[in-house]
Structure 1
Amino acid sequence: MMTLAQRKVPRGEGGLSRAHLHERVAEALRDRIITGALAPGERLAVTALAEEIGVSLTPMREALKLLATEGLVDLTPNRGAAASRVTVDQTRALFEVIAGIEALAAELACKRMTAEELAELHDLHANMQHLAGCEDRTRYFDVNRRIHDRIVDFARNPILSDQRSRLAQQAERVRFIALGRDARRNAAMQEHLDLMAAFDARDADRARRIWRGHLLASGDQTIDFLARRAAPDARTDRP
């Protein structure tokens, strides 16, 4: 599985349509913002980034416009682009909504997924458990993200999937912050195991409650981290 850090735009623009190219550039920048390689509030050196990625300024600017619609980039006239800031209020509101959406997804997936799909989730969780003790946060995050995505897929509700996709990039960004805190990781892993037990028992109500609690707890932990970081005497810490 390719990790966030491994995704790159091929050097140069040959062979890619203009429309496709700006999406690839957006993907590369999106991953850097989500993982904190481009920190919240950081001004984006557009020309330098274009040279680093290997594209001209046109697809770079188009990519920034796309990321602005996702809430990951702020575009200010005469000031350029910056990675959007992550605020406590924004994060609280985001997790309240995501928790509801993904809890419903867990309930529906519990009712609708096949035995083969359940086995896939077990395999993904085994992989995540293996990575839980590793220093590489990105690989752990990639598997965790895959689990959340597949649960939504297995819910088989296109309206739910569409609503979740509208918030997915912002949710992944703050979720990456939450996953980086070791104190929360052990509890989160147990919540994942509890969810799988509910799936095995085909207990949809329990699956919904567990997954909602899981997302809200992750949100609370992330909010606490952001609040402490924003305090005047807080230690500087990049997500």
Structure 2
Amino acid sequence: MSADAKDNPTAAVPAARAGRPGRTRASAKGEQTRARLIAAARTLLAGGMSERFTTRNVAALSGVSHGMCHYHFQDRTDLVLAVVADIRPEWILPLEEAVAAPGTFAERAGRVVDLLSRPEGAELSHLHAALHWHALNDARVRECLEAEYRRWRGCFTALFEVLAAERGGGVDARLLGEAVAAAVDGLAAVESLGAEVDPGAVLRALLRTVAAGSWAGAPERGSAPDPAPRTPPAAGG
């Protein structure tokens, strides 16, 4: 080894290895292949083809060899779990952002109502139905989906924690959050059947009622409940 190499070990490493451009290209190609497989998995699941949902069919639809599919995903359960993670930015992250953004309870509740009033796309609706079916038949999918829904329900708990902070306590944020999350989930089921329901109006009424009820039953700090509570701010505007 030359003196320069001893003083600077990287000098002895070929440029291709030092920067690893070949490995970077391979990694990018691998990510593209993985994305194609997940997209194909989404298509099959959203198309109501659970009985045809196999790694072989996903590979064929994505134009990837079956062996390459198994290189990225051990089995079809791994593919389902990848789809669960892939749709997170479409339903959980926007809700987390709406609650976490600065503002009063009423302002945050308004953002939540606006977000949840938007119609859910057909693909996402079908995907949720397919994922629930797989959760009934696969323990790993069930565990993963339960964790996703805990995170989703946690958004409503966080919303009512803002209300509790504004009122100085006396609000069971977790209980109210779970109750509203269950109602929202039920409303989504009603909407999926094409019922003529105005989700925005229903959600505003729900949040106003729950917020007002929690205020009426909330004691002042260290005292008995106030028999004539002050009027709380209206949720959602």
TM-score (norm 2): 0.32
Larger Rg: 2
Which of the pair has the greater relative contact order for Cα pairs under 8 Å at 6+ separation? 1
